[in-house]
Amino acid sequence: MAIPRQRIALIAHDGCKEQLINWVTEHRDILASHDLIATGTTGDQVEEVLKAPVRKLLSGPKGGDQQIGALIAEEQVDVLIFFWDPMAAQPHDPDVKALLRIGVLYDIAMASNQTTANLLVTGLLTKPELVDKE
Protein backbone atom coordinates (compact mmCIF):
# COMPACT_ATOMS: atom_id res chain seq x y z
CA MET A 1 0.00 0.00 0.00
CA ALA A 2 1.37 3.41 -0.94
CA ILE A 3 1.81 5.86 1.88
CA PRO A 4 -0.59 8.76 1.30
CA ARG A 5 0.83 12.27 1.58
CA GLN A 6 -0.14 13.77 4.90
CA ARG A 7 -0.49 17.46 5.71
CA ILE A 8 1.64 17.89 8.82
CA ALA A 9 1.64 21.08 10.90
CA LEU A 10 4.78 21.75 12.95
CA ILE A 11 4.87 24.20 15.85
CA ALA A 12 7.39 24.72 18.64
CA HIS A 13 7.54 27.23 21.45
CA ASP A 14 10.86 29.06 21.72
CA GLY A 15 12.08 26.79 24.53
CA CYS A 16 11.34 23.70 22.40
CA LYS A 17 12.51 24.79 18.94
CA GLU A 18 15.87 23.05 19.23
CA GLN A 19 14.15 19.83 20.29
CA LEU A 20 11.73 20.02 17.34
CA ILE A 21 14.52 20.77 14.87
CA ASN A 22 16.51 17.80 16.20
CA TRP A 23 13.40 15.64 15.81
CA VAL A 24 12.80 16.91 12.26
CA THR A 25 16.44 16.20 11.41
CA GLU A 26 16.11 12.66 12.73
CA HIS A 27 12.97 12.05 10.64
CA ARG A 28 13.87 14.18 7.61
CA ASP A 29 13.41 11.36 5.07
CA ILE A 30 9.87 10.69 6.22
CA LEU A 31 8.83 14.32 6.67
CA ALA A 32 10.19 15.47 3.31
CA SER A 33 7.70 13.17 1.56
CA HIS A 34 4.72 14.94 3.13
CA ASP A 35 3.20 18.43 2.93
CA LEU A 36 4.53 20.52 5.79
CA ILE A 37 3.01 23.62 7.36
CA ALA A 38 4.67 25.56 10.16
CA THR A 39 4.45 28.76 12.14
CA GLY A 40 6.98 31.60 11.94
CA THR A 41 10.60 30.88 12.72
CA THR A 42 9.89 27.18 13.10
CA GLY A 43 8.98 27.04 9.42
CA ASP A 44 12.21 28.75 8.38
CA GLN A 45 14.28 26.36 10.49
CA VAL A 46 12.45 23.25 9.27
CA GLU A 47 12.80 24.33 5.64
CA GLU A 48 16.53 24.87 6.15
CA VAL A 49 17.00 21.41 7.69
CA LEU A 50 14.89 19.53 5.15
CA LYS A 51 15.91 21.48 2.05
CA ALA A 52 12.24 21.11 1.12
CA PRO A 53 9.42 23.64 0.92
CA VAL A 54 7.37 24.38 4.03
CA ARG A 55 4.17 26.41 3.98
CA LYS A 56 5.02 29.14 6.50
CA LEU A 57 2.39 31.02 8.47
CA LEU A 58 2.63 33.80 11.04
CA SER A 59 4.49 33.23 14.28
CA GLY A 60 2.34 31.70 17.03
CA PRO A 61 1.89 34.86 19.12
CA LYS A 62 1.03 36.86 16.00
CA GLY A 63 -1.78 34.53 14.91
CA GLY A 64 0.02 31.48 13.54
CA ASP A 65 -1.59 29.13 16.07
CA GLN A 66 -4.99 30.45 15.02
CA GLN A 67 -4.10 30.01 11.35
CA ILE A 68 -3.20 26.37 12.00
CA GLY A 69 -6.47 25.97 13.91
CA ALA A 70 -8.40 27.38 10.95
CA LEU A 71 -6.66 24.94 8.61
CA ILE A 72 -7.62 22.08 10.94
CA ALA A 73 -11.26 23.25 10.90
CA GLU A 74 -11.11 23.40 7.09
CA GLU A 75 -9.77 19.80 7.13
CA GLN A 76 -6.45 20.88 5.59
CA VAL A 77 -4.25 19.42 8.37
CA ASP A 78 -3.98 15.70 9.11
CA VAL A 79 -1.29 15.71 11.80
CA LEU A 80 -0.22 18.29 14.37
CA ILE A 81 3.24 18.09 15.94
CA PHE A 82 3.31 20.80 18.61
CA PHE A 83 6.24 20.85 21.00
CA TRP A 84 4.97 23.29 23.60
CA ASP A 85 6.80 24.40 26.69
CA PRO A 86 4.92 23.32 29.83
CA MET A 87 7.29 25.30 32.06
CA ALA A 88 6.98 28.73 30.44
CA ALA A 89 4.02 31.07 30.57
CA GLN A 90 2.90 31.97 27.06
CA PRO A 91 1.35 35.37 26.31
CA HIS A 92 -0.85 33.68 23.72
CA ASP A 93 -1.91 30.79 25.98
CA PRO A 94 -5.62 31.11 25.02
CA ASP A 95 -4.62 30.59 21.37
CA VAL A 96 -2.63 27.48 22.31
CA LYS A 97 -5.57 26.03 24.22
CA ALA A 98 -7.92 26.82 21.33
CA LEU A 99 -5.57 25.09 18.89
CA LEU A 100 -5.39 21.95 21.02
CA ARG A 101 -9.17 22.00 21.47
CA ILE A 102 -9.81 22.27 17.72
CA GLY A 103 -7.36 19.42 17.06
CA VAL A 104 -9.31 17.18 19.43
CA LEU A 105 -12.66 18.36 18.03
CA TYR A 106 -11.63 17.47 14.47
CA ASP A 107 -9.99 14.22 15.60
CA ILE A 108 -6.61 14.76 14.00
CA ALA A 109 -3.47 12.95 15.07
CA MET A 110 -1.53 15.15 17.52
CA ALA A 111 1.75 14.92 19.39
CA SER A 112 3.03 17.33 22.01
CA ASN A 113 6.27 15.55 22.87
CA GLN A 114 9.04 13.63 21.15
CA THR A 115 7.90 10.18 22.23
CA THR A 116 4.40 10.62 20.81
CA ALA A 117 5.76 12.33 17.68
CA ASN A 118 8.03 9.30 17.12
CA LEU A 119 5.04 6.98 17.39
CA LEU A 120 3.03 9.14 14.98
CA VAL A 121 5.75 9.31 12.36
CA THR A 122 6.28 5.55 12.64
CA GLY A 123 2.55 5.11 12.14
CA LEU A 124 2.72 7.20 8.98
CA LEU A 125 5.21 4.69 7.60
CA THR A 126 3.70 1.44 8.72
CA LYS A 127 0.00 2.09 9.29
CA PRO A 128 -1.15 5.02 7.11
CA GLU A 129 -4.76 3.92 7.51
CA LEU A 130 -4.60 5.12 11.12
CA VAL A 131 -4.68 8.72 9.91
CA ASP A 132 -6.82 8.13 6.80
CA LYS A 133 -10.40 9.10 7.70
CA GLU A 134 -12.07 8.18 4.42
Helices (H), the chain: 17-26, 28-31, 40-50, 64-73, 93-105, 114-126
β-bridge mates for residue 110, sequence order:
80
**Catalytic residue status for 85:** no
**Which residues are CB-neighbours of 2 under 8 A, at least 6 positions away?**
none
65, 85, 93, 95: which is the annotated catalytic residue? 65
Annotated catalytic residues are 65
